[in-house]
Amino acid sequence: MRLKKLVLFSFILFSVTNSILAEEINSNGTQINFFAGNFDFSDDKQSAYLVGFQHQDENLNRDTFLGNVSPITGGFITENSAAYIYTGIEWNVNMGQNMSFTPSFAPGLYHEGDGKDLGHVLEFKSEVQLSYATSDKSSFGVSYNHVSNASLGDKNPGANSYMFNFIKNF
């Protein structure tokens, strides 16, 4: 039953956000990533479904010694009302054959809700994503992330998550 609610919520979130963004954004290098997956899948007691979004503005990208870097902002919420909002950077690596590899790093603010206590409000998200472009405007991908407070709090259990991504370019 929870999975059906998650899928329905994801579909509604995508539909509403996509229609709003289609009117406001005019092909300026903006990318929106909608994702759903499993928060803290490695802890059976705390595992929860999650849905979220991420925004990237490719017009703000920079070529650096690390590669092409651009800013990201996003957030997710779990079925247990835990929420995380973040801003950071991602590296875009074109692997050819419509494949992309995208590592990212983003500090953010975490609210545990009825979910897992990660030990601090300030948490850091490290993520890797592999995606396949089905057209110039859309891609599908899979990603894995780790959220941790880098021992800022009294405890630092961390959380490992995987997500399935739908990426829309405007």
CATH topology for the 2-18+31-169 domain: Porin (2.40.160)
Res 83 pLDDT > 50: yes
| Domain extent listing, the chain | 2-18+31-169
Position 167 confidence tier, pLDDT thresholds 50, 70, 90: very high
Which comes out higher in pLDDT, residue 45 or 134? 134
Q: What is the pLDDT of residues 85-134, one digit of tens each?
A: 999 999 988 899 999 999 999 999 999 999 999 999 999 999 999 999 99
Which has the closest alpha carbon to 33: 140, 135, 136, 130? 140
